[in-house]
Structure 1
Amino acid sequence: MTVYKTYTIGVTITGAANGIGPILQNNLGDDLFIPAITTGLTSFTFSTPVLDGAAYSVTQRIRAKAPSQDCSSITPVSGTVNGADVTVSITCVLSTVVPKFAFVTNSAADTVSAFNIDGVSGNLTAATPTPTTASGAVPSAVFVDPTGQFAYVTNKDANSVTVYGINPDSGVLTVIDADGATADFQPSIATGYAPMSIAVHPSGKFAYVANELNLAGGNSISAYSINITSGALTAIDADGATDGNQASIATGVEPYAITIDPLGKFAYVANYASYNVSAYTIDQITGALTPVADSPFAAGSNTHSIVIDPTGKYAYAANGGGDISAYSIGGAGALTQIVCANGVLTTCSGSNYVAGSAPRSIAVDPYTGLYAYVANSGGGVSAFGIDPATGALSAIDADAATPGDNLTIAAGSVPISINVDPSGQFVYVANLFSDNISVYSIGVGGALTPLPTLSLSTGSGPTSVTTTQ
């Protein structure tokens, strides 16, 4: 009987700055998700050993971030196993982030719009030759996977997710097979009732959908694995704490938004009608969710949106009642409220931070993590600075062009979704009733300046906007 010896492939990695690590692969598989890198030397090992005499090749699948770093080597890190474990060394370098595409869901037109972003000015131009692509009924949210290859759109009235391939040159979207468990081509895959939001795990391997309506199949999260080659989704057991295969896991009442921390350890859901945030741990192997101890955590009234800062230390929830709840994130995923303190421009509502009228969506600058912006559906955009040491918010002058202290800057009619591009230079706001996108540049201190494309048209009823690099 022949015994075939196997050996491990290890990696030592040095970052150009402290940050969230990359995802590496050996032989185009066996993903190694490195949770954090430092300027010192840290070591990791791929889970799958390699046969003696077999080839290995370590490559980067997803870049390091916060700040963005390129951890691919100048020369390939590859070779042949020769009777011993192998350790390769990788040094990361800071990389320039340039925004590339923007995507917008149009709820009244059942379409998704695609735009090219000018990396210098932030201006948008419609993707050509096909600037809009059909979706399911009433698209509510769009999310792009970490590799920038696939876009996922929740269709609220169709109870489904549509999957798109992204043309890397033009940004044009093409509907692709959504259901990895069905042999025939399926343009969409079923969700629970009234899907409002979707988030993709930082590894690109799992997707989670918040199903909003307070009916059977709603008030839940649906979970899927992702085929990283095709982008197709396959429903998985969503509930790691319950025996058997569970199609979903319960949330609070009317979950409007879901987000995942940058390290992929926790998922958080904003529950509109129960005024709280549900928290879950994520099984890194199966993707199943398990409620965090003491979840849900209190928020303000009508919690619409939740976002995590790029370090994974802080969470912020936009409450339709007029304020923002801020939290620190514990090691086990629990949320501890950061109590508001009145300041020069900062006003408190109990423990929460006062924003504009009817906050609907919140975004944090993903590059520096120093600023947060809020789309207030009652009108305008609010701006806050973030204390990196405590996570506390401080209201800042939102309008760089208008003298005096301006707690908001004008947007279109009913701002409903907000996004800061990956470079941290520009802010994009979807305006539901004026059918357009407001675009701003971010200046010194976080203040905003409207760009000439303030009235850039979308399809009818834009509900969600996201950007890629």
Structure 2
Amino acid sequence: MPTPHLSSFRFVMLAAFGLLNLSGCRRSSFPDVPAGYREYAYISNGGSNTVTVLDLVYLRQDRTLQVGANPTNLAVNPARNEIYVANAQSGTISVIDAEANRVVATISVHRQPYFIAVDPTGHRAYVANYGSNSVSVLDLDRRREVSVAGAGEQPAQAHISPDGRTLVVTNHGSGSVSLFDVTPYDSAKPSSGMAIHLRSTSSGCPGAADTVILPDSSKVFVACSAGHQVMAVGLAAAPGSWAAKQNPSLTTDHMLALLDVGKTPVHLAMKPDGGEIFVSNFDSDSFSEIATWTNEVGGTYSIGNRPVHGIVSRDNSMLWVSNQGADSIGLYSIDDGKLAGSVRTGSGPGALAFSEDEHLLLAADTHSGDVAVVRTAGKQGPALFTILPAGISPNSIAIKAIQEK
């Protein structure tokens, strides 16, 4: 698969940490939540064909849902209470109703769907089919595949730009990036514009994997995981837009730079303001800092053994990096430009996700099959708060908050 995977085994950490308390009591010393507020974390377990649902208000396991074979990625619908699961081995997408926390539909796609992304309107989704070199377009209202387009070899990820105009697909096998034209959703014509059309392809990015798109939809950055670079590509401006009028050359996609980072860059974490990107370099135990305005690498710094995933706080001040080989999360103060400590987790932390209020950070522990729950702020600073059970080889986390009326 496109990202590094180490051998997985079940290793329960609860008793060792003295944190065996799963009966479920409301979080103490945390911000109060309003009546009727619910918040859940969904964890896909690639080795047990399940999704674990964790209750983040009472900090307990809520239930385990059976999905398709080898779930690899989760996506949240921003407009409705649904979660989507890409099941690589069974070639399907599972639809989870987040209010009832049950699987309500299964959508067939193609071979080895590895990644799913939902558009900003919540009406469509795009699936990178790793085993069939294609991208599926899903109508989420009718819960079915409505279009399919060819991509490069082994597409690993699919991301829709914030403006809804461009679909970016990274092709792991061919070391390229496919850019597709997308017709923005029109509520007056909900069934129109479902097909996507290949606009351009950028090559020269071996092992193309993770990607981030700037908030203004002007650029995409791609981790070339089989090398030591990050590719920057300028995305075509909308015809008639201010940018296109000022510079007609911006109406086409164009390569901007290949930036040297550490070895095996596997994940990109962007500041919410889009000003900087942080690259997790798996084989050099480091992260690199990229300025998105100038397309320059500001520096590469040690962070811990086998970094695989990063996430930046909402206030743009702190970077958290899961170090899979060190069983810890490293902290880097962006404002101060220096390391700010580390937090122990279970074995082999990978995917990271904040709770809605960012008072909790969750890490999926790939080897021990559980989820480390880190308290991000406290009298003694960030610290491990508890560990909750998941399944075999947890690999993705999605958070959904619901306010009952």
Which runs of structure 2 are paired with 1:23-172 in the superposition (5 Å)? 103-108=84-89, 110-112=91-93, 127-130=101-104, 136-166=110-140
Equivalent position SS for 2:102 = coil
- Aligned partner (choices 254, 269, 278) of residue 231 of structure 2: 278
* Cα gap change, 1:337 to 1:162, in 2 (>3 Å): same
**Which residue is equivalent to 1:380?**
327
Q: Distance in 2 between matches of 1:446 and 1:146?
A: 35
Answering whether residue 256 of structure 2 is matched by residue 289 of structure 1, we say no
- Aligned partner (choices 138, 141, 144) of residue 175 of structure 1: 144
8 Å contact kept, 2:128–2:135? yes
Q: Distance in 2 between matches of 1:424 and 1:99?
A: 21
Deviation per CA, 1:361-408: give whole Å up to 9, x if none: 22223x3222222233335342424434xxx643334xxxxxxxxx24
- Aligned partner (choices 332, 340, 344) of residue 409 of structure 1: 344
TM-score, normalized by length of structure 1? 0.56
Answering whether residue 202 of structure 2 is matched by residue 249 of structure 1, we say yes
* Cα gap change, 1:98 to 1:163, in 2 (>3 Å): closer
Which structure shows the higher strand fraction?
Answer: 2
AA aligned opposite 2:206:
V
Q: Distance in 1 between matches of 2:126 and 2:238?
A: 22
* Cα gap change, 1:197 to 1:463, in 2 (>3 Å): farther
* Cα gap change, 1:434 to 1:207, in 2 (>3 Å): farther
Say how many residue pairs are matched.
Answer: 305
Q: Distance in 2 between matches of 1:288 and 1:467?
A: 36
* Cα gap change, 1:159 to 1:300, in 2 (>3 Å): same
8 Å contact kept, 2:346–2:368? no
Q: Unaligned regions of 5+ residues in structure 1, if any?
A: 1-96, 118-124, 168-172, 180-187, 239-247, 340-351, 398-406
Q: Distance in 1 between matches of 2:114 and 2:133?
A: 11
8 Å contact kept, 1:99–1:421? no
Q: Distance in 2 between matches of 1:256 and 1:104?
A: 19
Deviation per CA, 1:319-338: give whole Å up to 9, x if none: 012111012222xxx32233
Q: CA deviation at 1:98?
A: 12
* Cα gap change, 1:438 to 1:145, in 2 (>3 Å): farther
**Which residue is equivalent to 2:304?**
356
Equivalent position SS for 1:338 = strand
Answering whether residue 291 of structure 2 is matched by residue 328 of structure 1, we say yes
**Which residue is equivalent to 1:23?**
none
Which fold has the larger relative contact order, with Cα–Cα distance below 8 Å and residues 6 or more apart in sequence?
Answer: 2
8 Å contact kept, 2:345–2:363? no
Larger radius of gyration: 1
Report sequence identity in percent: 19
* Cα gap change, 1:327 to 1:438, in 2 (>3 Å): same
**Which residue is equivalent to 1:209?**
169
8 Å contact kept, 1:435–1:462? yes
TM-score, normalized by length of structure 2? 0.64
Q: Unaligned regions of 5+ residues in structure 2, if any?
A: 1-77, 186-190, 240-250
Q: Distance in 2 between matches of 1:196 and 1:154?
A: 6
Equivalent position SS for 1:147 = coil
Q: CA deviation at 1:438?
A: 5.0
**Which residue is equivalent to 1:317?**
279
